[in-house]
Amino acid sequence: MRNATLSFVLLVGCVFCFSIASRGLSAPGGSGFKPVSSVHSLMHGQGVMFKQVRKAIQKKSTPERGEVIEHAAEVLAELSNVNMYQKDADDYRAWAVSVRDTAMELAKEGEKKTPDEDRLKALVGQIKSTCGECHDKYQ
């Protein structure tokens, strides 16, 4: 768990630095945002966070379980948010938005004192399915 926590902290730090560094750059629609990492790097980060969420969901007796689910899901959502800018294709962006929104639902469920276990599993399944649809076309 210590290595996973360290990985999580490092990734969150990278996302934070990335968000600071990217301000002022151009993006579609004039939002001032442009990803600086490759799709491959973003997908790797999303995979790490998704794995963290799944492991935490399985470990019901871990004291920091809810916090790990919440934070890893939020980082997954943010990486998906960034991922929207990697391609101009409408379906690609729709899948990124879907993962982002579902991951935020997962974070909210994870932060509850007694989360609905079936809901946690359903949200994880929905993210996995959405990622699979996109990967079937673009990977």
* pLDDT tens-digit map of 59-95: 988 889 999 999 999 999 999 999 999 998 999 999 9
Q: How confident is the model at residue 16 (pLDDT cuts 50, 70, 90)?
A: very low
Whole-number pLDDT of residue 80: 95
CATH numbers and ranges of domains, the chain: 2-138 (1.20.120)
Residue 9 has pLDDT above 80, yes or no: no
Residue 48 has pLDDT above 50, yes or no: yes
Residue 25 has pLDDT above 90, yes or no: no
99, exposed or middle or buried, with CB in 10 Å at 0-12, 13-18, 19+? buried
Whole-number pLDDT of residue 32: 74
Q: How confident is the model at residue 24 (pLDDT cuts 50, 70, 90)?
A: very low
Whole-number pLDDT of residue 137: 95
Strand, helix or coil for residue 88: coil
Nearest CA-CA partner of 102 in 64, 137, 130:
130
Q: How far apart are CA 71 and CA 82, in angstroms?
A: 17
